[in-house]
A and B are shown apart, each in its own frame.
Chain A
């Protein structure tokens, strides 16, 4: 399997990145504060009002290293994308599919199947792991509802059709409501500082939403990089219609990965008290932001999560969590090129 390399996160504000031989040089106010060899980097993500030299951008594009600029609070600004790599055939088929409602539906349905399935199993696991602390009946009830939606979108309930993107989006919305209605129950520690009522993002209005938004953004960068590495155009989606500047295909694929990669991670940060109330600050508009220190801590935890090994449910191969987006991108490519009869989403249990 492809090697999971490192992501370099630049959290120092006003740092400038440049290319020095085969290394990234990080400078602040003219002083060199760090140097990292490019050959073991897979991604560079920089926060704050930083800049990067065109030479570094070129080197990253050339070596397929993702380079992504975020605001200091983790809102996405831009990604540097190099020349489109190879695989014209795959791209043409991707574009053709994106124009065909039925073909889009076939793929989007499986992404949403993955999304609902993974949400369901997060609830099931919690019910099993904390039966003394949780309202098991409530979680089981939500899980059963999700099972029903799984059946519907696979066409198992004849009376309730799910045959086009419109209907699919409807069931996606419904299952998200069911899932998010019990997410707050999964928070077992620091309940006064960490609660979840609903998903809000522009801006996030509580600590949990601040964390979710931050890591969803990071995940979307990872997924977009993985898709581009395989040869896709990350901007042309099947469920998400294309909109200038939006990595629609990455958002499609994220549907199945959000809960299992980010939600679980965020909940465990809270439950293990790796973040606390003092890690957040409130702006005048009510927006909640992570402090610089907290962002560093959270990124370290995220990096180690990516190194943890799992067995891929479809391939039965051991891979680190961090490679999941890449493997799913490969599987999607192989489906589109005709090696598989359907796209197998990542189904976690």
Chain B
């Protein structure tokens, strides 16, 4: 199986951008352009707490780790898990320096409420796949926590999810290697996009620079 070098790892957080719009993903992750707006700032604030590595909890049969960096050589992706709970379970794996066997259960914090699309789920699945590779284990379930509901939503990892992630990662790497920013596909998402000013979606539509200039020669 193909393995990627560390320097070619792509960010897991880009999966949601990639699913939303491939061009948006390329603008952020290839061209490194980023327009901050209120929503992105809010999101960062939420994650600050979830990622606070100084908070370490360990109670009874549960170890809670925050802000663990994860990666997968086969996916060529890296990221940070908001929270990973290690639950004592006789079917689990051993952890260095700990008594007993544990099953890792990632919990990812999200703004708002569950979405219609599966971007949040897929991002979580990618994190799980990284953890599986790093811990040599199998993860069957994980959780998404939505701040507006203040509740966890269970996510069961299916083979279909994993296949999707493998496919997305291949596509991302292919674009990344070419440093290629796809053209716009205008959609209703464009209105809500924080990168609209950088993307200039109109440009890839009907606007033609040649006819604009040639039109003026005739004036």
Contacts and interface: CB of A to CB of B under 8 A. Distances in A.
Contact of A344 (B32, B197, B212): B212
A87 B213 contact: no
Interface in B10-58: 30-34
Interface string A305-327: 00000000111000000000000
Interface in A78-119: 85-90, 110, 113, 117
B214 A154 contact: yes
Nearest to A114: B213
Given A338-B181, A339-B200, A349-B219, A113 B213 contact: yes
Contacts of B217: 150-151, 154, 156
Contacts of B200: 315, 330-331, 334, 339
Given A154-B213, A344-B212, A88 B203 contact: no
A343 interface: yes
B198 interface: yes
Nearest to A2: B197
A341 interface: yes
B197 A1 contact: yes
Nearest to A120: B219
A231 B207 CA distance: 23
Given A117-B216, A315-B202, A337 B209 contact: no
B183 interface: yes
B213 A89 contact: no
Nearest to B32: A86
A330 B203 CA distance: 11
B181 A337 contact: yes
Given A86-B31, A87-B32, A341 B198 contact: no
B113 interface: no
Contacts of A86: 31-34
A347 interface: yes
Nearest to A156: B217
Contacts of B34: 86
B208 interface: yes
B170 interface: no
B192 interface: no
B214 A231 contact: no
B213 A339 contact: no
B31 A231 contact: yes
A220 B31 CA distance: 25
Contact of B183 (A117, A156, A330, A339): A339
A267 B184 CA distance: 42
A231 B33 contact: yes
A340 B202 CA distance: 11
Given A339-B200, A347-B212, A314 B207 contact: yes
Interface string A4-38: 00000000000000000000000000000000000
A83 to B, nearest CB: 12
B210 interface: yes
A339 B181 CA distance: 9
A1 B197 CA distance: 6
Contacts of A339: 181, 183-184, 200, 203-204
A337 B26 CA distance: 11
Contact of A89 (B30, B184, B198, B216): B30
Nearest to B200: A334
B216 A347 contact: yes
A314 B211 CA distance: 10
A335 interface: yes
Nearest to A344: B209
B129 to A, nearest CB: 28
Given A1-B197, A338-B181, A339-B204, A87 B219 contact: no
A340 B45 CA distance: 37
A341 B181 CA distance: 15
Contacts of A85: 32
A337 B184 CA distance: 13
B92 to A, nearest CB: 42
Nearest to B219: A349
B209 A340 contact: yes
The 7 tightest CB contacts between A and B, nearest first, are: A86-B32, A344-B209, A342-B209, A340-B209, A339-B203, A89-B179, A87-B31
27 contacts: A1-B197, A87-B32, A87-B33, A88-B32, A89-B31, A150-B216, A150-B217, A151-B217, A154-B213, A154-B214, A231-B31, A314-B207, A330-B197, A331-B200, A331-B203, A334-B200, A334-B203, A335-B209, A339-B181, A340-B203, A340-B207, A341-B208, A342-B209, A342-B213, A343-B209, A344-B209, A345-B213
Given A86-B34, A341-B208, 12 more contacts: A86-B32, A90-B31, A154-B213, A156-B217, A231-B33, A314-B207, A314-B209, A315-B202, A335-B209, A339-B183, A340-B207, A344-B212
Interface of B: 30-34, 179, 181, 183-184, 197-198, 200, 202-204, 207-210, 212-214, 216-217, 219
